[in-house]
Homo-oligomer: A and B are copies of this chain.
Amino acid sequence: MAQSQSDALLDIGQLLKATRKGRQLTQEQVADIAGISRPRYREIEAGSSAARTTTLINIARALGLELMLVPQAMVPAVDALLRPHDDLDDFPAFVAHPDGDLGV
């Protein structure tokens, strides 16, 4: 059916890593701004640990991202809006991807 929690964590980690590199920041810098330790940020980026909601929000903001909860039916539209995001720096937008197999 869909992505397991582990997969979601891995995906989030990948996005964080890609965004961080796009911003040319070190793990320590991001961890610092987000107010967590580097070992912890490392685990979150590696997807081997499920951060608290508040921690994830802090990390996201440290990277210039915002956490949003979007109606599943709107995900494709939002995705489409985000993809052609060719700015100075472009990061992929993360979706928790149930799979994409909604009957939209």
A46 lies within 8 A of chain B by Cβ:
no
Question: Which A residues from 49 to 85 make CB contacts under 8 A with B?
Answer: 50-58, 60-61, 64-75, 77-78, 81-82, 85
| B81 and A93 form a contact (CB under 8 A) | no
Q: Are A96 and B5 in contact (CB under 8 A)?
A: no
- How many of these chains are in the complex? 2
Provide the residues of chain B in CB contact with A81, threshold 8 Å. Answer: 74, 77-78, 81
**Is B54's CB under 8 angstroms from A52's CB?**
no
> Pick the contact of A71 from B5, B64, B69 — CB < 8 Å?
B64
Min CB distance A41 to B, Å, is 13
The answer on a CB contact under 8 Å between B65 and A93 is no
- In the docked arrangement, what's the CA distance between A67 and B69, Å? 5
Residues of B within 8 A of A5 (CB): 54, 57-58
19 CB-based A-B contacts, threshold 8 Å: A5-B58, A15-B69, A50-B55, A51-B53, A57-B96, A60-B96, A61-B98, A64-B71, A66-B69, A66-B95, A67-B69, A67-B94, A67-B96, A68-B70, A69-B93, A74-B81, A74-B82, A74-B93, A81-B81
